[in-house]
Structure 1
Amino acid sequence: MTIAARPASLGAPFVFALLLAALYLALPLLAVSKIAIVVVKGAVCPLLAFSIWRWRGGDAIAKFLGLALLFSAAGDVFLALDRVRLFVPALASFLLAHLAYLALFLKHRARPSPRQWLLIVLLLAYAVIMLSVLTPGLGKLLLPVYGYVAAIIAMGVAALAVHGKPLVGLGAVSFILSDSLIALDKFVEPIVWAGPAIWITYVAAQVLILLGWRNAAASG
C-alpha cells in the first residue's frame, strides 16, 4: 500500500548531514578541540536517521534504518573519542547496526537473479581472502573480528538480494569496503590515506542505503 509520495527535495537534515560529513574531512587541518570532532562526526548519522523518518513518515522501514544509523552514530563517537581503547565498543556498535540492516534486508529479499548470485559469490570469495590476510594480526580479537565479518558479509549478501533496490546493494558493498580499510590499517599495515577513504566510503554507504529506501511508496 502506498504510504506517501517521494519528497520533492532531499530536505535540510540530509543536506546538513552531508555538509557535516565534508567538514569532518577538513577538521584535521583545523585547530579544533576533540569535543568538536566528536560532535561533528557523531551528528552525521542521527541527521540521516531524521531524514529517513521525514521521508517515510516513521514506518517500519524507517525504524529499522533509524536504529541502524543510531548504532552507527555510537560507533562513530567511540572511534572519535579513542579509536584504540574504545575500538571494541565501536565494533560492537557497528555490529548491532549491521544486524539491524540485516533484519530489514532479509525481510525484503527476493530470489537472486544470476547476476546477483555472481555478485554474492564474489562477495563471499572476498570475505575468505580478507580473513586470510587479517588472521595473522588479529591476536585476541580473532573471534570478535570473525563474528563481525560474518555479520557484515551476511548483511551484504542480503542487501544484494533485496528486490529492485540496487542502491541498497551498492551501499552495503561500500560499507564492506570501508570496514576492510579499517581492518587492513589496524591489523595488517598502516595506510597513509586510510582515514579519508574510510570516512568517504562509510558515509557513501549510509547515504546509498537510505536513498535506496527514500521512496515511502514501497511497502513497509
Structure 2
Amino acid sequence: MAQLPLILGLLISLAYFPLTSRAPTWPRSIIKTIPLLAFSLAAYWGGGSAFLVAGLFLSALGDFGLSRDGDGPFLYGLSAFALAHLLFILHFLGLSGAPIYDAFSTVPIPALVLVGLMVSTELWLATHTGHLQWPVRIYVIIIGVMGLTALALPFGLTVMGAGLFIVSDVILAISLFRMSDTYHHRLKAGYAIWGFYIAGQALILLGGLAAL
C-alpha cells in the first residue's frame, strides 16, 4: 500500500523540474507541495514512526512556503523545515538508540566535516542574509544536528538521504543568498536542489520503512 503514494510522489516530483526556476504561481506551488504529502502518506500507510510521518508532512508545508514570494512565506517555510528536522532527529534517535555525539566516535571524519561546514556558514552565508541572519543561523544548527544524528546510524538509506538533504540545502542557500538572478548556472542549481532534495527525502522514507 505504501508503494502507491511513494510512486505518485516521485512521478509528480518529475513534473516540477521544469518549474524550478519559474515565477511563483499557485499551480507551481501545488505541484511542489504534493510529493512530500504523498511521501508522508506512504510513511503512514507503511507503518512508519509518527516522527517520520510528521517530519515528511512538515516538509511539504515547507515546500509550499518556499514556493511563494516574500520574507513571510520564506520564514514560514524555513520554520516548517526546522520543525521537520527536529522530528527527523527524534526519528533517527529512535532508529539508532545512540546519543547524537556518538557520531564523533563511530564516524569522526564525516562528523567533523559536517561541523566544519556548519561553522563555515558564518563566513560564506550568514553575512549575506541581512535581517534573516538569525533564522538562518538557527536553521543551520538544527539541520547540522539532524545530520549528526543520522551519522550515528549504520551507513544505509537513511544516512544517504540525510546527506543528500543537506547537499540540497547548501545549494539552496548559495542560490538564494549568493547567486544573482541573472547568473547563468541558476537553472542548473534549481534542478540540483530539487533532485537532491527529493532523492534525500525518498531515501529517508525508505530507510524508515526498511527499519520496521
Question: What is the TM-score normalised by the length of structure 2?
Answer: 0.86
Match of 2:198 in 1: 203
Contact 2:51 2:91 in 1 (8 A): yes
Identical amino acids, percent of aligned pairs: 31
Match of 1:11 in 2: 3
Contact 1:159 1:169 in 2 (8 A): yes
Structure 1 residue corresponding to 2:55, chosen from 68, 76, 97: 68
Structure 2 residue corresponding to 1:97, chosen from 84, 96, 117: 84
Q: Distance in 2 between matches of 1:138 and 1:189?
A: 12
Amino acid at match of 1:86: P
Contact 2:126 2:136 in 1 (8 A): no
Amino acid at match of 2:117: Y
Q: Distance in 2 between matches of 1:64 and 1:176?
A: 19
1:166 matched to 2:127? The reply is no
Contact 2:103 2:148 in 1 (8 A): no
What's the C-alpha RMSD, in Å, of the aligned pairs?
2.4
Q: Which runs of 5+ in 2 are unaligned?
A: none
Q: Distance in 2 between matches of 1:135 and 1:81?
A: 22
Deviation larger for 203-212 or 165-174: 165-174
| Count of residues paired in the alignment | 203
Amino acid at match of 1:18: L
Q: Distance in 1 between matches of 2:92 and 2:26?
A: 35
Match of 1:3 in 2: none
Structure 2 residue corresponding to 1:154, chosen from 139, 145, 153: 145
Please give the per-residue CA displacement for 1:161-203, whole angstroms capped at 9, x wherever unaligned: 02x3521111111111111111111222235122111111111
Match of 1:180 in 2: 170
85 and 194 in structure 1: CA distance in 2 versus 1, 3 angstrom threshold: farther
Question: What is the TM-score normalised by the length of structure 1?
Answer: 0.83
Q: Distance in 2 between matches of 1:108 and 1:33?
A: 38
1:122 matched to 2:117? The reply is no
Match of 1:48 in 2: 39
Contact 2:29 2:67 in 1 (8 A): yes
Please give the per-residue CA displacement for 1:19-60, whole angstroms capped at 9, x wherever unaligned: 000011134699x9922212211111110111112222xx5x
Q: Which runs of 5+ in 1 are unaligned?
A: 1-6
Greater relative CO (CA pairs within 8 A, separation 6+)? 1
